[in-house]
Each structure stands twice: as C-alpha cells, then as structure tokens.
Amino acid sequence: MEHALNHIFDDCQISGDHFEAHVGGENIHGVIGRAESGDAIEAMNVLGRLFDEFDDDIVVVISAPRISPYLDATIEKLVRSLRPEQGWGYVDHDGRARVIVPTLGLDLRYSPPRTTEVQTPSAVRNTTLFTDLNQWLLKVMILNGSPPDMWSKPRLAITGPLSLSSEHWVGVSQAKAYQFAHTLQQAGFLSWKRGRFELLDLRQLLLDWIDFSRLEQPYRTPVRSVLEENLNSVLKRAKSSVAASGHLASQAYGLTHSNSTTEEVYVFEDLGVVLKSAALEETSVNQADFLLTKPLGSSVRRGVQVVNDTRIVDPIQLALDASRRRDRGREQAEHIVEVILSWHAHE
C-alpha cells in the first residue's frame, strides 16, 4: 500500500490506519479502511462508514483486494452527490491507487505497468462498457468458444465488428457493432488490428462485469406453486415467457459448485399473466418456492436456451445472477468464471 501511495504523493508515511502525505507543498491527513473480501458492496459499506466517522478535511482511503473500474466510477458518483468536498481514494492489492482531494483540485492516479499489449486508462472503464447491448455482444464473443452443450447459438468466425453485424440472429447494426468494438478497445479488453479481433484480460473483464451486476439489483417477487408443483412443471406451464436461473440451471450445465439451492426464474412477460398461467401466487420470502425476476434488459432473454427440455439462462448470466445471492453466491459465480476461462485457455 505504501509503495502505491508513494507513487501518487511526493512522500507518504503510514501509521496503523492513518497516514500523512505531502504533494506539491500541501499536507494531507488521511485514514485507511480495509475491505477483506474485495466484494463491491462491502467496499462501499466500508467507505460509507468512514465518511460518517470523519470530517471532510480527512482523506478517506479504502484498501481492498480489487477495486474494479466500475466500482471506481460508482464511488466517484456517490461521493460527488453526497460529500462533494470529501477527499477519498483507494489502493488495491494489484497496486492500483487513486486519491481525489477536491479542495486542492487533486485527482492523483497510479497503475502498475500492464503486461498486455494495450495500456488501460481507468477513466474509460465505466458504465458504458456494460450497456445491455454490450452485455449481449460480450456473451456472443465469449460463449462462441464454449463447448457445444453450453451455447446452442450458431458459431461465428469473428474477425471484426462486421462479423457480428452481418449475422441476423445477433441483431446488431454495423454502427453499434463498431461502437462496441471501440469501447472494448479503449478499455483495454480487445485486440483489434491486422485481422485480429479477440478479447484481452478475460478474467478481469468477467470480474468487472460481476461487480457491475451486483450493484444493479433487478426486481424480484417471491412466489409459491398453488398446485405444489416442482419447478420443472411450473416452467412447462409458463412456456416461453420464463427462463430458469439459479440451482436448476447450474445443474443443467453441470456447473454446480456451492450448496446453494436458490431458484430464480426470469419473467419476460406481464407478471400477472405468468402467475395465472403457471398457477403461482405471491408469498413471503420465507415461504417462497422461488423468485420471479424481471430482467433489466434484453440481453437476458437473448441468451436463453433450451437444455434438457428446460429454458434456462446462458452460463454467463448464471454467474451474474449467482453473484447477487448471499448463500455462497459469489463463490458459485467465481467457479463459473474459472470454467469459462478454461474454455479459452488455449487461445
């Protein structure tokens, strides 16, 4: 931590959870909060607690295993709205650091040299990376290299944006495909030159995507079966208006890792209509058989496929959904990430 902060400041001395630094003739006093898990929500909670404990003249810095670019942008937006004069910053275990002191006009950043061929300014990795359309196109690119039983869509020879826009089922215009490519390239996640069009730093991309997903909570309705049917029977009643995530989908793909048995079902049509057609009724969380979830965008429905006669979400969506759950959901999500990375290990 001290090494990273000394790249930002002229000098920095840390004593316990406090530090003193100097930059440009200015003295800066700060306090450090530590997030143990690297979970985005925990990081936000630690930062919020420090804001409550210290005045604006104390710079609040959080130390965490990883601060994703999306979390960086989210914290900045939150601080600007709630504590515009508050100095804040972070240091993560990869050596990235940032400190903002509004009263001094400072926004100091440091990232250790990357070994990939594209240098990544953290400023460009923001919410534009994970728009609904971009999430769909990322699924198309990543799952294109998966085993046959993981992705039932046509396989593509992807050599550039035109490879995406020329396929009718992908459903993207040429302009939007190029915009997607430029966004990924600027964020350091895409190599695009001389006929080469492939993703870079896939692990970081997937983990950033998970952090983004955890901070966007869809609306869920706890329900139970009036007929006391199992989930498979309910899905057959609801037909194409729903798709399963959670435990059932994990089993269908052979991706079950944790002992979580939470069932989640996406609803793509009017909730009342689905409740009636599937013989369901709303209930309390404690009595629910599963949760009905309204998707935040069309990328969820576009990735739905049929496995063992059951409509389920794609493996990436399964990981995103798992990461939001408390019953070892993050562990399940990271297991799926490792499986996805294994598909691309030879590239």
Whether residue 340 is contained in a domain is answered as no
Would you say residue 345 lies in a domain?
Answer: no
Same domain as 225, residue 324: yes
pLDDT of residue 44: 77
Q: Is the pLDDT of residue 297 over 80?
A: yes
Domain boundary (187, 213, 239) is at 213
Query: Does 13 share its domain with 106?
Result: yes
183 and 132 within one domain = yes
Examine the domain organization and report whether 300 and 206 are in the same domain.
Answer: no
Supply the mean pLDDT for the chain.
Answer: 85
Percentage of the chain beyond pLDDT 90 is 41
User: Residues 71-102: pLDDT tens digits?
Assistant: 777 778 878 888 888 899 999 888 888 899 88
Residue at a domain's end among 59, 82, 110 = 110
In terms of domains, do 209 and 253 share one?
A: no
Quick one: 254 exposed, middle or buried, by C-beta within 10 A (0-12, 13-18, 19+)? exposed
Residues 204 and 224 placed together within one structural domain of the fold: no
Count how many domains the chain has. 3
Phi and psi torsions of 317, nearest 5°: -60, -35
Which pLDDT does position 1 carry in this prediction? 67
Q: Are residues 173 and 226 in the same domain?
A: no
Is residue 267 in a domain?
yes
- 267: pLDDT strictly greater than 90: yes
Do residue 244 and residue 160 come from a single domain?
no
Residues 106, 44 within the same domain: yes
Could you tell me the residue range of the domain that residue 51 belongs to? 2-110
What 3 state SS string does 29-70 have? EEEEEECCCCCHHHHHHHHHHHHHHCCCCCEEEEEECCCCHH
Adjacent-strand bridge partners of 46: none
Whether 99 and 179 share a structural domain: no
pLDDT > 80? residue 6: no
Residues ≥6 apart with Cβ < 8 Å to 313: 243, 244, 245, 249, 266, 300, 303, 304, 321
Q: What is the pLDDT of residues 25-54, one digit of tens each?
A: 788 999 999 887 656 677 778 888 888 898
The CATH number covering residue 203 comes to: 1.10.10
pLDDT in tens, 126-163: 468 899 999 999 999 999 999 999 999 999 999 999 99
Looking at the structure, tell me whether residues 330 and 244 fall in a common domain. Answer: yes
Q: Would you report the helix, strand and coil content of the chain in percent, each value rounded to 5?
A: 45, 20, 35
Any domain includes 169: yes
pLDDT tens-place string over residues 200-209: 999 999 999 9
More confident residue, 21 or 314: 314
Q: Is residue 328 part of a domain?
A: yes
Domain boundary among 213, 235, 268: 213
> What's the pLDDT at 122?
39
In a domain, 204, yes or no: yes
pLDDT, residue 12, reads 86
Nearest residue to 78 via CA among 110, 37, 32, 45:
45
Residues 203 and 225 in one domain: no
59 pLDDT more than 90: yes
Within a domain: 292: yes
Residue 115, domain member (yes or no): no
